[in-house]
Structure 1
């Protein structure tokens, strides 16, 4: 045994993630254990994650330390990153200023630009998968849905049942099987809006409601806004009343915290949250936008903010669950 598991920090349909410690070096690590069994889907996901992380060497991508394979499970050992963007978004004490916003999203788009240059689509960009260490360094993680894409093979097909619903690009909601890295850009735009609002921009209860949430802001597709929409597999399955796009985005996104750069922030958002994936800005273009290319913080470490540690969040949830359980027990004593 090379690593000691300390406590669980996450779990999913395929396995568990633990905070651990190397018995050789004492280094704190993240240990992701996936039971393989005969589950072909689990095997595919772990293969994707291992393949992607072995390719990537970038300061904004989580670092893979090693992979341990047994007959029944696969274990990925990565650097341990103390927090994530979900915890930051939910932190009522985080500062509301451009410095923090720009720091995180410059790094996120740097990471995405690196992935896309190397022909990798992440396909599950969401706040929980954007890790942040105590020095405010962003690390993109969880590559279980990642895949390679090929610009010179436009007819290559991909699964459309990817990405978490609130961050799923419109083309995927309509069943597209030919798509590209613009889907990751859409997700990043949704997260930027959520960071500003403190709540999801498109919180659909199901896939149909998700489409409705998007159309309420961007309007129903037209020949001008999305010429190829009617060619998508599921475009004819639903009929929506004609909706005009929102013109004043300050009614949709709270950019007041951006101060005199509010218009630049809105311009960035509008460049990535477009129905037509061919019209969305690339990660490189986002980095060149007025909002993310000017008045940047000197470094992540220079920001006076420490993200909430994930272990504190987990212990708080466990404590709350215990309190709730005790309340239920005490309540049942009266019967």
Structure 2
């Protein structure tokens, strides 16, 4: 299909928005991978940036995860995590992003022998700099790797205790199939007792039952992905009635073959059914685009209107873990932007 019209692209470019589904390790660009490998003296199984990009051809989630964990080996110092975070925040600011809620995978790093502090402090320093210099606010979400056991998740939650006043919530990511949310019931309950928000990947490759479990067993505040919830009318009605935010990732869905064609992406149907989806980039270095690229691609493929795109942007703030005053400010900014853009050809 053709690119979105120049006017719609310009509308997307200036539309204030938040990102609620971004794995910060998944923003590691091939150029950064080589830079960090060089300065940390890490050998990579790739001879060039182009060879890495050629490897970014996935047919399923696990294909992506294999190279994702390979790339993470180059992250060894607080400076690495700081630089990784700032590179992402600069791209977000360029996309008119105002707020982000970052996923990070401490087990990916602690299992390599890095102290929890290295990733946490590096990212927190980048978050502070981004707010100070770019005006971009952010929150940090600690994700448990679901292919590991719940005891390992408990150990990670324990290691995070000195930082819990600076961590907004916990999440659940990595290999979905065969690892239902119920596997992590006790650790999510413990996180909730500590006042942490709870989110979980569910309904990407896994069945609708995983979304039910995330809702009723993990007691999540948001569903990450959630595409396959549409296969279950009762679940779809439940999500709509609850006003549950879904953090949907169009280019990721296409790259991982969750959808065969963006033209058939369920975002328009989600909106029509009264659900509360948002647009996000997931792992943008691997999936072909940051936040605005996802907005443009799905708008081009499905014909989403300006009104629908503005609704998705509003959802990104009302679904964020922001206080009421901050949410209201951001929504008012969107309303003013849309009003100022109305009538433009």
TM range (shorter): under 0.3
- Tell me the TM-score normalised to structure 1 length: 0.24
Between Structure 1 and Structure 2, the one with more helix by share is: 2
Higher CA-based Rg: 1
Higher relative CO (Cα under 8 Å, sequence separation at least 6) belongs to 2
- Tell me the TM-score normalised to structure 2 length: 0.24
